[in-house]
Amino acid sequence: MTPAEWIASLVSLVAAGAVWRWRHWKSVARRHKEHLAVWKEALHAMAFESTNAVNAIRAHLADFRQVNPNVAMPEHLDQIAAGTERIASILRVADDPVSWHRRREGGAPASQSASGPAVPMIGSTEPQ
């Protein structure tokens, strides 16, 4: 083999290796993108179902307070109300995790969707 043939075969080998690595990382990126889409869909489904549950709890709690204004231990009802507010704040994070991260890191101001969930909550006093 002449030196030109050695150089040509070496260049071909390096090009083949580069193409293989590029295809490998492209498939890894595609797989990660698919997994991210699945996680995102699952997170939104969880947020939707949890929002329905929190709304039901709030509605029943409000109805109970209207029917029984003089309960023996109202602090338990206040604890339930505080718990539903904590769940609602978790759902706001699930609704827009990027702006939650920005607010947590003290970066750019949050977007409008971070001020509340996509669906207004029963008994919510926050402006939509």
What span, in angstroms and rounded, lies between the C-alpha atoms of 50 and 54? 6
Instruction: List pLDDT tens digits, range 37-77.
Output: 888 888 888 888 888 888 888 888 888 888 887 877 778 88
| pTM for this model (two decimals) | 0.52
pLDDT recorded at residue 33: 93
pLDDT at 120 > cutoff 80: no
**Mean of the per-residue pLDDT values of the chain:** 80
What span, in angstroms and rounded, lies between the C-alpha atoms of 83 and 50? 13
